[in-house]
Amino acid sequence: MESTRKNFTGVVVSDKNDKTIVVAIHTRRLNPLYKKYVTKIKKVKAHDENNDAKVGDTVRVVECRHISKDKCWRLDQIVERAK
């Protein structure tokens, strides 16, 4: 069941809320008409139970059930700490 869930790697841009982090996920796609790469940024709110992640950390988030209106992701692991 774990393999069917979506997971993304992104950078924490906000940790001001209690047990919640905002993660920016960057994706690059080739525009079929103009043949240029376009960077898209999607921000998702993720559940961080222990308030471990800080701004600048690279983290992996995994899809889960809705915890609140906007939160349907949870922190899986901190890949790299901010320097």
Q: What is the pLDDT along the chain (83 residues), one digit of tens a residue?
A: 556 899 999 999 999 999 999 999 999 999 999 999 999 999 999 999 999 999 999 999 999 999 999 999 999 999 999 98
> Nearest 5°: CA angle at 81, between 76 and 83?
165
Domain boundaries along the sequence of the chain: 2-80
Strand partners, 25: 42
Rounded CA separation 33/37 (Å): 11
CATH topology for 2-80?
OB fold (Dihydrolipoamide Acetyltransferase, E2P) (2.40.50)
Is-contact 59 23, C-beta < 8 A? Answer: yes
Using only C-alpha atoms, what is the Rg of the chain?
A: 14
The confidence score (pLDDT) of residue 3 equals 66
